[in-house]
Amino acid sequence: MIHEVDEALRLLLAEAGLPERGVEVVFDAPTRDLAARRTAPTVSVFLYGIREETARRQAGAVAEYDADGLVVGHRAAPRWFELAYLVTVWTNRPQDEHRLLAEVLQCLTAVDALPARVLTGTLAGLGLTVGLDIAGRDTGLPSVSDVWSALGGELRPSIDLRVLAPLAAALSAVGPPVTEGLVVRVEDTTRESAEATDGPGRRLRYHGGADPGPGGFAAPRDRALPPGRRPRGGAR
């Protein structure tokens, strides 16, 4: 799920026209090493924290179906996680950095959730909203100043971006669908030996099933009703 959020953010920033202007989007830590080896204006989207939204945790499972409408497995309800990104820009002049940072901020605040067109993998398959927020509240994740201190770099203008995304549970496979009825064998209990009678047995069939042959029950079976009887749910 994390790499799918990364790809969605990259595609969202690409829609703002950054690659066409020679701006690179990377997910490296904003350190002196990044500043030394970059060769073009760069936007760094650095993931620095992950926290589960325990208030949104749910119990139960959801069935998954194939193209024919048959159940192929069950998944537990997805669990939600908040991903914290530190977004910075790197150019040769502070004025250019501020201009580029303003464009990135405009792109990230234009939507409240990642558009469905940029979602891939499990995020696209779940069909749930992946929210975006420019952090303004304390959620228990490290503060931006603590992140800069841990990176050992100078404090730079940055955007504290939070993404709330679902993590899909593993699929629990189920057995093959039941398509045949039970085979019933009768036994003659009147004989002292109580030995089972020979024969292939008779197969109970579901409504609409194919005729298994002379040894089974055909479905449906048309049988004349006794006088005075009417079909269930029908007119007399």
> Cβ(185)–Cβ(203) under 8 Å?
no
Together in a domain, 77 and 132: yes
Together in a domain, 167 and 182: no
Q: Cα(220)–Cα(39) distance, rounded to whole angstroms?
A: 75
pLDDT at 218: 47
Of the residues 148, 173, 198, the one at which a domain ends: 173
Together in a domain, 110 and 207: no
Q: Name which of 6, 22, 144 is nearest 91 in CA terms.
A: 22
Together in a domain, 7 and 86: yes
> Cβ(4)–Cβ(47) under 8 Å?
no
Together in a domain, 62 and 111: yes
Together in a domain, 201 and 124: no
| Beta-bridge partner residues of 11 | none
Q: Where are the alpha helices (DSSP H) in the chain?
A: 2-14, 32-37, 94-109, 121-126, 144-151
Together in a domain, 156 and 200: no
Winning range, highest mean pLDDT, from 87-96, 144-153, 176-185, 222-231: 87-96
Token pair, residue 73, equals 């497995």
Together in a domain, 149 and 194: no
pTM of the model: 0.70
Residue ranges making up the domain that contains 162: 2-173
Among 41-50, 66-75, 153-162, 208-217, whose mean pLDDT is lowest?
208-217
> Cβ(118)–Cβ(129) under 8 Å?
no
Together in a domain, 62 and 159: yes
In this model, does residue 17 exceed pLDDT 70?
Answer: yes
Helices 2-14 and 94-109: crossing angle in degrees, nearest 10, is 110
Of the residues 153, 173, 193, the one at which a domain ends: 173
pLDDT at 111: 93
Task: State how far the alpha carbon of 75 is from the alpha carbons of 15, 121, 169, in Å.
Answer: 33, 16, 6
Together in a domain, 194 and 111: no
Together in a domain, 100 and 40: yes
The larger pLDDT score, comparing residue 203 to residue 226, is at 226
In this model, does residue 215 exceed pLDDT 70?
Answer: no
Of the residues 134, 153, 173, the one at which a domain ends: 173
Per DSSP, the three-state class of 80 is strand
Per DSSP, the three-state class of 116 is helix
> Cβ(215)–Cβ(200) under 8 Å?
yes
Together in a domain, 198 and 220: yes
In this model, does residue 210 exceed pLDDT 90?
Answer: no
> Cβ(81)–Cβ(52) under 8 Å?
yes
What is the number of domains present in the chain? 2
Percent composition of the chain: helix, strand, coil (DSSP 3-state, to 5): 25, 25, 50
Mean pLDDT taken over the chain: 81
Q: Residue range 116-125: average pLDDT? A: 94
